[in-house]
């Protein structure tokens, strides 16, 4: 299935029409002004293309340099490096990676609860009371150490670290309650939203939910969970 697509643009992204593991890729490419093709795969199409994917999963990125690349984190780093969004030197790149991995810790903790099935209600209170606040404090402290928390997470320009934090905080944390987000991170979210390319993406292209409405998922799969997400 993938081999039938000839690269007519700067690349092709194959992922479902929800935020999940595609949000960062899509926003990064728009920030970098990359003329790519965004294939929003349906579940019907997925059944016929799964066997062509290296690890039997999406997202998949395809361009003339790397060929076909799987694993969302690999795609993030590849594109961030290619389009100069991964630091200006080795120290900045290390700091970006540190924040990126902290974001992955939050992502994994939330996903475990989302797909806990009949244990969802049992696990939810600890997530909201302990796990999310702990990580929000970590991110807030890191942000405040760079330019007093008034700019980006690393250095003086937007990077993969900022994309990761926005994705985690806006798309996975905020729906549980905006009161969980510190004032410093709320200001950061607003700054990020005001980047022209980001603003355009959020208004015109962003998927409606973070995860798909599949059996067993308990939250972040309905549009109502994201009501008023840009109110503050």
- pLDDT score of 9: 73
Tell me the torsion sign for CA atoms 63, 67, 73, 77: negative
- pLDDT score of 5: 53
In DSSP notation, 44-63 reads HHHHHHGGGSTTS-S-EEEE
**199-209 tens-digit pLDDT:** 999 999 999 99
- pLDDT score of 3: 53
Are residues 58 and 20 in contact, defined by beta-carbon separation less than 8 angstroms?
no
Kindly state the percentage of the chain with pLDDT values over 70. Answer: 96
Strands 60-63 and 12-16: antiparallel
pLDDT of 7 strictly over 80: no
Give residues with Cβ within 8 angstroms of 11, minimum separation 6. Answer: 29, 34, 36, 37, 61, 62, 63, 64
Tell me the torsion sign for CA atoms 201, 203, 208, 211: positive
Dihedral pair phi/psi, residue 67, rounded to 5° = 80, -125
- pLDDT score of 1: 52
41-55, 146-160, 173-187: lowest mean pLDDT where? 41-55
Instruction: Please give the Cα distance from 18 to 15 (Å, whole number).
Output: 8
Instruction: Please give the Cα distance from 64 to 136 (Å, whole number).
Output: 39
**65-97 tens-digit pLDDT:** 999 999 999 999 999 999 999 999 999 999 999
Kindly state the percentage of the chain with pLDDT values over 90. Answer: 91
Instruction: Please give the Cα distance from 20 to 87 (Å, whole number).
Output: 24
pLDDT band at 8 (very low <50, low <70, confident <90, very high): low
Q: What is the mean pLDDT of the chain?
A: 94
Q: Specify the residue for token string 């067993």.
A: 216
- pLDDT score of 93: 98
**113-128 tens-digit pLDDT:** 999 999 999 999 999 9
Residue predicted with more confidence, 215 or 8:
215
């Amino acid at each position: 299935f993938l081999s039938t697509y000839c690269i007519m643009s700067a690349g092709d992204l194959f992922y479902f029409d929800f935020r999940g593991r595609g949000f960062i890729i899509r926003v990064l490419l728009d920030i970098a002004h990359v003329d790519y093709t965004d294939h929003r795969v349906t579940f019907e199409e997925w059944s016929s293309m799964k066997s062509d994917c290296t690890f039997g999963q999406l997202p998949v990125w395809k361009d003339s340099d790397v060929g076909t690349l799987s694993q969302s984190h690999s795609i993030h780093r590849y594109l961030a490096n290619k389009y100069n969004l991964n630091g200006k030197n080795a120290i900045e790149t290390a700091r970006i990676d540190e924040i990126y991995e902290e974001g992955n810790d939050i992502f994994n903790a939330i996903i475990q609860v989302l797909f806990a099935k009949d244990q969802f209600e049992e696990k939810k209170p600890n997530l909201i009371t302990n796990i999310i606040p702990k990580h929000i404090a970590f991110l807030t402290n890191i942000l405040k150490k760079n330019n007093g928390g008034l700019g980006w997470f690393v250095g003086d320009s937007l990077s993969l670290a900022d994309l990761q934090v926005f994705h985690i905080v806006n798309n996975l944390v905020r729906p549980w309650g905006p009161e969980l987000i510190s004032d410093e991170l709320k200001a950061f979210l607003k700054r990020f939203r005001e980047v022209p390319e980001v603003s355009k993406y959020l208004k015109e292209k962003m998927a409606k939910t973070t995860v798909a409405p599949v059996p067993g998922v308990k939250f972040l799969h309905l549009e109502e969970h994201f009501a008023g997400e840009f109110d503050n």
